[in-house]
Amino acid sequence: MGAVLVRLEEREHEIAAQAEAAREKIAELTALLDGFDTAAEEIRDTRKTLLELPDPPPSEPPAAKLPDHPAYQQIMAVFAAANAPLRARAVCEAMGVEIARPTASTTSA
């Protein structure tokens, strides 16, 4: 009977050691879970704060960069002075630029 009591005592110590290891593991997991809960709460607070911020005013599109070449300025002046739509030939003529007219040798290729 003494051997049985010794075995029971050994088993009791094994179970107590396993229970202590389980408690330690539970404490680790509880700390980990608390960290996750804190991180999730911080994210919720951040989202709430961002949603409460006013929308920024729409930004104005950048101004068109227009060429500053003198020929561009001349062309725009011709269009501004015209009282009807112009074809390219009319713009060139208004600027004093001659356009070569196609000849029979260049059109019959």
Q: Helix crossing, 70-81 with 88-95: angle to 10°?
A: 110
Residue bearing the bigger pLDDT, 89 or 17: 17
| Average pLDDT of the residues in 79-92 | 88
Is a pLDDT exceeding 90 seen at residue 96? no
User: Does 88 score more than 90 pLDDT?
Assistant: no
Both tokens of 85, joined, read 């739509």
Rounded-to-integer distance, Cα 33 and Cα 19, Å: 20
Q: What are phi and psi of 25, to 5 degrees?
A: -65, -40
- What would the pLDDT profile of 26-43 be if each residue is shown by its tens digit? 999 999 999 999 999 999
- What confidence category does residue 50 fall into, taking pLDDT thresholds of 50, 70 and 90? very high
Q: Can you read off the two tokens belonging to residue 63? A: 């101004």
Which residue is listed with tokens 């300025």? Answer: 73
Strand spans (E) along 1-56: none
pTM for the full predicted model? 0.45
